Structure 1
Amino acid sequence: MSKKFAFFIHPRSEVQKDMRRVHPLLGIVPDIVYQQVLKRIPVPPFVSGKLSTQDQRLQGELILIPFSAKQMLELPPKKVFSRIEKAVDLAKQRGCELVGLGALTAPLAGGGRLLQKRTDIGITNGNAFTAAMTLLATEKILNQTQKPAHLAIVGASGSTGQCFSELLAHQIKNGSIASVTLIARNEIRLAETENRILKHKPNFHVKLSRSMNDVKQSDVIILLTSSTENLLRSEHLKEGAIVLDDTQPRNTSPDLCKERPDVMILDGGLVETSGVFCSMDIGLPKGHAYACLAETELLALEGHQGHFSIGNPEVEQAKYMIFLAQKYASYGFRLAKFRSFGKRVDRFDSMVDMEANA
């Protein structure tokens, strides 16, 4: 039996633009005013939208945490986490049995670890399905390359990054990748990610790095970081590189396309959910969702009890999400066609069969 769920969101880099999506009148307030008001006044989390299917089998709510992405990362962690806890309390009060952590609420709650003590409601960080969808997107990209590609994973030590890296080694066809460069700040966790890869592909050529400059050698770059900055710049990219930006807030700027017309930047983490209605504009085309939201929806449809993806998801959890996507395919839950800053890209139209990756 399906369960009512909540999914957490917050304004991203352009606060005014995101608040306008909540209500047109909120779009009148300039960004600088929002930054000051949200920092000084303890505005509580509130319901900003609803999600449902036509048959009413799925019922969910979007709960907005009133901090900008910049504030989420710069304010004292205790202050931010306290607001996340209040959002969990609100979800419980409204009858939700499952909560999905969207955007920066996941890393700032330790991937859900800081909420594990909650036994009254289930928590998932959405990273298992995100890793699975990123794998499918990467396969589509690699199918278009003329020779084995040099691949870079930026944010490889994170929750999604580690799961994706292991999935990549576990599932990817031999000969499609020439080398993998893992980039992150934490050297110990980078080494853990390397071990996950070599466990499945001992002959993989893996390089560890803490510098974005080492992206320069890569044909395909996967962005999986938690940052409000445009980390990837023109000087980091080789000619003809393909970038899959799987971050929210995103780590690439539209200006990069103007500076480097030879480079393809793709929007990552997008799932087609044509059977799910959302009352709020979340900045995506109608019938689309981010993979972390789709994970929460799938678990709710399945009636999942308790926590699911906490901390670093396991490969088996990612495969389970693919299984659920197939089970509830009548509502969509398939990899969306590629877009670049919201505009359709037809170059990668050949679809990947999810069943082959289950």
Structure 2
Amino acid sequence: MQGLSAAAVVLLGYLAGSVPFGYLLVKALRGIDIRDYGSHNIGMSNVARVAGRGTAGVCLLLDAAKSLGPVLVAHYTTASAWAVVATAMAASLGHAYSIFFYIKERKFSRGKAVATGLGSFLGLTLTGAIPPWMLPLAVCIWYATRVATRYASVASLAGAGTLAVTVWVVPLESPYRLFALATFLFVVWKHKENIGRLLDGTEVRIGERVPLANIDDDEVACAFVIHPFVPEDWWQSRRFAWLRGWVPVSVVRFLVRFIRPMKNDVVTGITTRDGRRARCYLIGVPLLPEQIKGDEPLAVKRAVQAAEVAHALGASVVGLGAFMSVVGEKGLAVQRQSPIPVTNGGSLTAGSVRLGLNALVAQVADQLESSTVAVVGANGVVGVKICRDLAPMMRHLLMVGTDVARLENVARLLRKANPLLRVETMVGCDRLIEADIIFTATSDPNPVIYSRHLKENALVFDIGRPADVDPNVIAERPDVKVIPGGTIRMPGEAVRYHLDLGFGPGNIPACMAETIIIALEHAYDRVTLGDRTNSENVEYFVRKAEELGFDVVAQPHTVASSPGVTLTANKGHRRSA
């Protein structure tokens, strides 16, 4: 009978904890589902963001009461300390994994269970299970930490940690000590992503203005999925930097296959010419290019999870960057499973490459006829187009690629259409040393052009993503000019972010710029998905980018950032990064 009573109160604890008061309050008062806004949690903090402090205060009291009540019932109906702490733990689990939502939607809710844990310890205090000073001390530590750091997550961890420590300095029954420790570990687990963001410097402080999708109009939020190109990129994130030198790269390479996407950084300060503001969350998928290409189902799964993270952060659209942009039918499979619109950024990428190329050709038009011009990646779609567009202006062309037959087919057509053009085809970059001007557009994940390949004072237009030119060329060969293709300068004098995206200060890939423009203009019907880009959308993004102040970079990339030219490619304007 005693065992039946204990099981009953534990079940009561879980069912009471499962009551989603935050969800019910906001639904009743605002008529909306709180899980569609802010952090998408159902607890007090998100209720405060969405419905105000008054509603959040009521939510705090109710969330604490739903564990306080079962703990008191367990104390007075059973003689077992284990039954009491099991009931308290069940209430916390009910809040974090509510049966209410599982029955309704076949999925659990999101909650940190801090307020529910507070109610449990209040019950233990009222019943004399723990000393009366212990909970007030933890609350004081929580409040002091909250004021000092302005981080709600740090305060919650500090309060739970205080209880986990103080239960060992006074005589207490083992169940209560273990419950305090278990509660602390549970709070740490539920705050693991907050801890990662604290290490990366991207955790939101109390009072910091964060745009909420579908609520705020003065600042929009979007997200962009990034991934490392080489193992060294893993160490950019401080949450992983400590592994460097301690864990073999081969082990990290294996482990990242099991790591879900996470918020690695946030770009703030993006301000358009008409004064509108945007922020872009950088969602990291820690897979290397060869892992993405070698296991597309995993890559698609991670892309969908990244979209879910973006949605949880309040983003209204998510862009897929680099090799993540080509998985899942170039975003189509991701969109089918994503809670928000997805774009691969191909429209503005195409437009920016075209305009950057036009701007460059305008600068070197008088040199093309007298120069040896090389196109690396000449068997690709972009490379072939460059060859065809420039052929009438050239006299000597080196076509470099990997498919000899395709190179020769294109070369034959070029010779036929341009009788005065001398065309040579080759595999490998050894003869690039002869070229005065180089256009490169490969999809190789590694650099293909090094200092040894470049003639003195060579000019290189690098459209490859990742870049085809080895990063060391800029430092090793100051005589060489390297101009990145598909690179955009963001508008705003106070743009801030921490990660090195590899495009120079203030510069981003065009696919990321497209994502930001979609969010600013609410142009969700213009996302780019699949193999083809709509010419109307290309022109739309080029026009909007010009209006909003996004610049295509058509100047040499150096150690110090260089000014861009506007997307009309004929009205350049300078500004600082």
**Structure-1-length-normalised TM-score:** 0.73
Measure how far apart 1:291 and its partner are: 1.9
Q: Which has the higher contact order (CA 8 A, sep 6+)?
A: 1
Asked if residue 30 in structure 1 is aligned to residue 244 in structure 2, the reply is yes
Asked if residue 128 in structure 1 is aligned to residue 350 in structure 2, the reply is no
The letter of the residue matching 1:27 is: A
Measure how far apart 1:9 and its partner are: 0.7
Cross-structure match for 1:89 = 308
Change (3 A) 1:136 1:150: farther
Cross-structure match for 1:39 = 254
The answer to whether the Cα contact below 8 Å between 1:6 and 1:62 also exists between their aligned partners in 2 is yes
Asked if residue 250 in structure 1 is aligned to residue 467 in structure 2, the reply is yes
Which of 553, 559, 563 is 1:336 aligned to? Answer: 553
Instruction: Give me the whole-angstrom Cα distance separating, in 1, the residues matched to 2:541 and 2:388.
Output: 18
Change (3 A) 1:244 1:193: same
Cross-structure match for 1:281 = 499
The answer to whether the Cα contact below 8 Å between 2:545 and 2:551 also exists between their aligned partners in 1 is yes
Cross-structure match for 1:5 = 222
Instruction: Give me the whole-angstrom Cα distance separating, in 1, the residues matched to 2:409 and 2:377.
Output: 13
The letter of the residue matching 1:335 is: V
Structure 2, unpaired ranges of 5+: 1-216, 572-577
Asked if residue 102 in structure 1 is aligned to residue 321 in structure 2, the reply is yes
The answer to whether the Cα contact below 8 Å between 1:11 and 1:18 also exists between their aligned partners in 2 is yes
Question: How many residues are paired up?
Answer: 339
Instruction: Give me the whole-angstrom Cα distance separating, in 2, the residues matched to 1:184 and 1:34.
Output: 31
Instruction: Give me the whole-angstrom Cα distance separating, in 2, the residues matched to 1:38 and 1:102.
Output: 20
CA distances 1:13-39 after superposition (whole Å, capped 9, x unpaired): 253x5533x33x633332763552242
The answer to whether the Cα contact below 8 Å between 1:274 and 1:288 also exists between their aligned partners in 2 is no
The letter of the residue matching 1:39 is: F
The answer to whether the Cα contact below 8 Å between 1:103 and 1:249 also exists between their aligned partners in 2 is yes
Measure how far apart 1:232 and its partner are: 2.0
CA distances 1:275-333 after superposition (whole Å, capped 9, x unpaired): 2734333345543322221121112211112432532435443332210112212xxx1
**Structure-2-length-normalised TM-score:** 0.49
Cross-structure match for 2:267 = 51
The answer to whether the Cα contact below 8 Å between 1:267 and 1:339 also exists between their aligned partners in 2 is yes
Change (3 A) 1:68 1:140: same
Cross-structure match for 1:111 = 330
Measure how far apart 1:185 and its partner are: 4.6
Measure how far apart 1:252 and its partner are: 2.2
Measure how far apart 1:79 and its partner are: 2.5
The letter of the residue matching 2:267 is: L
Matched ranges for 1:206-225 at <5 A: 211-213=427-429, 218-225=435-442
The answer to whether the Cα contact below 8 Å between 1:100 and 1:126 also exists between their aligned partners in 2 is yes
Instruction: Give me the whole-angstrom Cα distance separating, in 2, the residues matched to 1:62 and 1:206.
Output: 46
The answer to whether the Cα contact below 8 Å between 1:3 and 1:304 also exists between their aligned partners in 2 is no
Change (3 A) 1:177 1:294: farther
The answer to whether the Cα contact below 8 Å between 2:308 and 2:339 also exists between their aligned partners in 1 is no
- SS, match of residue 6 in structure 1: strand
Instruction: Give me the whole-angstrom Cα distance separating, in 2, the residues matched to 1:56 and 1:320.
Output: 19
The answer to whether the Cα contact below 8 Å between 1:132 and 1:319 also exists between their aligned partners in 2 is yes
Structure 1, unpaired ranges of 5+: none
Larger mean CA deviation between 179-188 and 275-284 belongs to 179-188
Instruction: Give me the whole-angstrom Cα distance separating, in 1, the residues matched to 2:433 and 2:226.
Output: 33
Instruction: Give me the whole-angstrom Cα distance separating, in 1, the residues matched to 2:566 and 2:548.
Output: 17
Change (3 A) 1:154 1:127: farther
Change (3 A) 1:83 1:339: same
Matched ranges for 1:225-264 at <5 A: 225-233=442-450, 236-237=453-454, 240-256=457-473, 263-264=480-481
Change (3 A) 1:235 1:67: same
Cross-structure match for 2:26 = none
Measure how far apart 1:115 and its partner are: 2.9
Q: Which has the larger radius of gyration?
A: 2
Larger mean CA deviation between 88-97 and 61-70 belongs to 88-97
The answer to whether the Cα contact below 8 Å between 1:219 and 1:240 also exists between their aligned partners in 2 is yes
Which of 500, 515, 523 is 1:304 aligned to? Answer: 523
Cross-structure match for 2:367 = 146
Instruction: Give me the whole-angstrom Cα distance separating, in 1, the residues matched to 2:410 and 2:307.
Output: 31
More helix by share: 2
Change (3 A) 1:86 1:352: closer
Cross-structure match for 1:80 = 299
- SS, match of residue 528 in structure 2: coil
Which of 259, 283, 288 is 1:68 aligned to? Answer: 288
Instruction: Give me the whole-angstrom Cα distance separating, in 2, the residues matched to 1:220 and 1:30.
Output: 39
Q: CA RMSD in A?
A: 4.3
The answer to whether the Cα contact below 8 Å between 1:267 and 1:341 also exists between their aligned partners in 2 is no
Identical columns (%):
22
Instruction: Give me the whole-angstrom Cα distance separating, in 2, the residues matched to 1:111 and 1:57.
Output: 29
- SS, match of residue 495 in structure 2: strand
Cross-structure match for 2:545 = 325
